[in-house]
Amino acid sequence: MNSFLKLILMISFMSTVVPVYGEDVFERHCIPCHKEMNISLQKTFMKALLVYGGKENMKAGLAYYFKNPHVNTSVMDEDFIRKNGIKEPMKIASKLLDEALDIYWNRYTVIGKLR
C-alpha cells in the first residue's frame, strides 16, 4: 500500500474517532437542535431528573425516548408538545448516545458538586 493511501485511511479513521474541531458527541448531536429551537438544556435536564429520579433511570429513559419518541414518553409539557411536536427518532449509534447522555449528566448535574 502506498504512503498516500495509508495517510488517507489514517485520516479517515481518525475523523471517526477524534471529535471534529474539539466538539464531543453531545455538542455535535444535542446542542445544535436545542439552540435552533431555543430550548434550555439545563431546564430540560431538570425536567428529566424530576421524571426519572436518578442517573441510570434518566439515561435509560432518555435513550429509549431518543430512539422511539412518543408523546407519552416525553418529559416536555403539553404546551411545548402542542407548539413544537415530538422530535424525530435520533439516528445515532447506541454507544454514541450513551456517551452523549454521560456528558449531559456530568455537565448539568449538581449532585456531588455542591459544597
Do 101 and 62 contact (CB within 8 A), yes or no? yes
At 81, phi and psi to the nearest 5? -65, -40
pLDDT at site 20: 47
0.85 surpassed by pTM: no
pLDDT at site 4: 60
Average pLDDT, the chain: 84
pLDDT in tens, 69-104: 999 999 998 998 999 899 899 999 999 999 999 999
pLDDT at site 16: 47
* Residue predicted with more confidence, 102 or 2: 102
- The DSSP string of 50-67 is HHH-SHHHHHHHHHHHHH
pLDDT at site 34: 86
Do 72 and 64 contact (CB within 8 A), yes or no? no
Mean pLDDT of 58-79: 94
Q: Distance of alpha carbon 103 from its chain centroid, rounded?
A: 8
Indicate the DSSP class of residue 68.
S
Q: Where in the chain are the domains?
A: 24-108
Do 26 and 107 contact (CB within 8 A), yes or no? yes
Q: What is the pLDDT confidence band of residue 38, given thresholds at 50, 70 and 90?
A: confident
Q: How far apart are CA 4 and CA 21, in angstroms?
A: 23
